[in-house]
Amino acid sequence: MSEATVSRVLNGKPGVAATTRQSVLAALDVLGYERPVRLRQRSEGLVGLITPELENPIFPALAQVIGQALTRQGYTPVLATQTPGGSTEDELTEMLVDRGVAGIIYVSGLHADTTADMQRYERLRAQGVPFVLVDGFSPKVQAPFISPTTGPRWRWPSPISPPSATPGSGWRSGRSGSCRCSARSRASCAPCRSSWG
């Protein structure tokens, strides 16, 4: 492929076959070059993905699968992770809403804690922000959810299957649903204390 052809693609000039144009753009992506602004794909919008941590291997795996599914649907995922001493779920939610996200996906959020105030989700609904809850079901929150103890209750834009609640998977099932805790911190979580003894 000639430099002139690449130049025509980068400058949006006519006279280049669609397959050649796609090859040049794919090469830019593979080589790590940034596409010129006019050649970037438009996003359907940002979707926030709030996870409790990234140390437990299930959460990065879920973030990757969910992020890929969102990208295939034309959305841009924004990962927001809670860490000890860092931002809370409420702070991350406020930050995402302020940035005009198209929706938020909560993975093992406060909805999984039976002692948490669920009004935060009703306030979010009142603002018109769509949201989905993953891992942990609360009958107090009217929202689409996926939980390993209940199975999917909503279809994702593309097929995603939640992992099973097996020992060592990071998903813990208890009487009150699933918990977001790792084994070393479960003593501080009410659902874990009640289900693990």
CATH number for position 149: 3.40.50.2300
| Residues 110 and 93 placed together within one structural domain of the fold | yes
pLDDT at 119 over 50: yes
Write down the pLDDT at residue 149: 56
Residue 122 CB neighbour total at 10 angstroms? 14
pLDDT band at 104 (very low <50, low <70, confident <90, very high): very high
| Residues 119 and 183 placed together within one structural domain of the fold | yes
Q: What percent of the chain has pLDDT over 70?
A: 72
Nearest CA-CA partner of 90 in 117, 115, 66? 117
124-163 residue pLDDT tens: 989 989 999 888 778 888 888 887 655 444 433 333 343 4
| Residues 17 and 58 placed together within one structural domain of the fold | no
Q: Give pTM, 2 decimals.
A: 0.57
Tokens standing for 2?
Answer: 């000639």
